[in-house]
Chains A and B, each alone.
Chain A
Amino acid sequence: EVQLLESGGGLVQPGGSLRLSCTASGFKFNNYGMYWVRQPPAKGLEWVSGIYGGGTNTFYADSVKGRFTISRDNSKNTLYLEMNSLRAEDTARYYCARNSGQNFFDSWGQGTLVTVSS
């Protein structure tokens, strides 16, 4: 069974930093691209970032480019999102999601909540 478990969320002040992790199990991690998708409270879904299975290619939404960095450690079956210069509008539940291979998401974690507030 595919399982994705996010961690690292919390309350952070504007301008601060946070590192999210997503630990995967139940599938061959390095065979799949992985993504972060976020959802502000009571709002819709927004794609944030993605990374190929080998970790060589990364992709970002314009809203986070230059502030967020996606990475992965295939030896640990773990996906990361380093978030810097955080803003109030980054407040959201951040989901880790597996790329089916065609840029849609066939498995999702439960998410981790990031709150940016002073």
Chain B
Amino acid sequence: DIVMTQSPDSLAVSLGERVTINCKSSQSVLYSHNNENYLVWYQQKSGQPPKLLISWASTRESGVPDRFSGSGSATDFTLTISSLQAEDVAVYYCQQCYSTPLTFGGGTKVEIK
């Protein structure tokens, strides 16, 4: 099974500041045949289901603000919020979609300082 490890577990950042969340996979999720990283990011606000934010490691879903960006390749990935807004308070999860069992990171809780 591919183990996904996120860091930090939580962080508190001032409004307008930058947020960086890391996700590491225990093996590469880069598929050599199409050079795509099978890694996605979700946002889960309190009391709501997860919402897909970014697919293929760096492709924002329709309607997702451009302050959200994803980067990385193979085993190391990053979700960045360039300027934290109040509505970004949530838990963020990475998930590998390279192989079954599909696995998620443990989540990173983002709060306002």
A interface residue numbers (CB < 8 A to B): 35, 44-47, 50, 59, 61-62, 95, 100, 102-106, 108-111
Chain B residues in 8 Å Cβ range of A111: 49
Docked-complex contact A103 and B51, CB < 8 angstroms = no
CB distance from B36 to the nearest CB of A (A): 9
Chain B residues in 8 Å Cβ range of A47: 101-104
Chain B residues in 8 Å Cβ range of A35: 102
B interface residue numbers (CB < 8 A to A): 38, 40, 42, 48-52, 55, 61, 93, 95, 97-98, 100-107
Task: Give complex CA distance A64, B8 in Å.
Answer: 29
CB distance from A27 to the nearest CB of B (A): 15
**Residues A103 and B50 in contact in the complex (CB < 8 Å), given A44-B93, A44-B106, A44-B107:** no
Docked-complex contact B101 and A62, CB < 8 angstroms = yes
Q: Top 9 closest A-B pairs, CB basis?
A: A103-B97, A108-B49, A47-B102, A104-B40, A104-B97, A45-B104, A44-B107, A44-B106, A106-B52
Chain A residues in 8 Å Cβ range of B98: 103
Task: Give complex CA distance A35, B46 in Å.
Answer: 22
Docked-complex contact A100 and B107, CB < 8 angstroms = no
Instruction: Give the secondary structure class of A's interface.
Output: loop
CB distance from B90 to the nearest CB of A (A): 13
Chain B residues in 8 Å Cβ range of A100: 52, 55
Chain A residues in 8 Å Cβ range of B38: 102-103
* New A-B pairs, 7, CB < 8 Å, besides A95-B50, A104-B95, A110-B48: A44-B105, A45-B93, A45-B104, A47-B104, A103-B97, A103-B98, A105-B42
Task: Give complex CA distance A21, B15 in Å.
Answer: 41
Docked-complex contact A108 and B51, CB < 8 angstroms = yes
Q: Which of A61, A95, A103 has the most CB of B within 10 A?
A: A103
Docked-complex contact A104 and B106, CB < 8 angstroms = no
Docked-complex contact A103 and B100, CB < 8 angstroms = yes
Docked-complex contact B49 and A110, CB < 8 angstroms = yes
